[in-house]
Amino acid sequence: MECKIYPLNELKEYKHVVILSKYKGEIMLSRHKERSTWETQGGHIEKGETPLEAAKRELFEESGAVKFKITPIFDYWVGDDNSGGNGMVFMAEIKELVDIPNSEMQEVKIFKELPKNLTYKDITPVLFENAKIWNSQDNH
């Protein structure tokens, strides 16, 4: 699986959103009920939704975040020789959490750095690394 990064709004037809979440200054990841690995919040954009609307919905559904600041930071493409899809990556600063709604996610956990047991080990580190690059450019 390959992950390519693009400037925000360069890709058009978006299929997915990914949210890189921070809570109390640390990385917050979710664990799916059927897996023992950790992942970012995110998912498919539903028909009629904007990427921002999808990101807000997925963030709540997969983490229980009810108060947050969410910002789009860049576009990405993930795929292989046979298929792939465009997405938009968001950064979320979470201020308040409630229990995760009844969804596919079992729990959320806070990490000082990305754990080794990631669901999407070829994708998640690339997105976090590029988020640092984009954030440092925004601060100059």
Q: What's the pLDDT score for residue 139?
A: 44
Which residues neighbour 133 within 8 Å (Cβ) at sequence distance 6 or greater? Answer: none
**What's domain 2-138's superfamily in CATH?**
Nucleoside Triphosphate Pyrophosphohydrolase (3.90.79.10)
> Tens of pLDDT along the chain (140 residues)?
899 999 999 998 999 999 999 999 999 999 999 999 999 999 999 999 999 999 999 999 999 999 999 999 999 999 988 888 999 999 999 999 999 998 889 999 999 999 999 999 999 999 999 998 766 654 43
11-49: b (≥16 Cβ within 10 Å) or e? beebbbbbbbbebeeebbbbbbeeeeebbbbbbebeeeb
Say how far apart CA 25 and CA 64 lie, in whole Å: 17
Q: What's the pLDDT score for residue 81?
A: 82
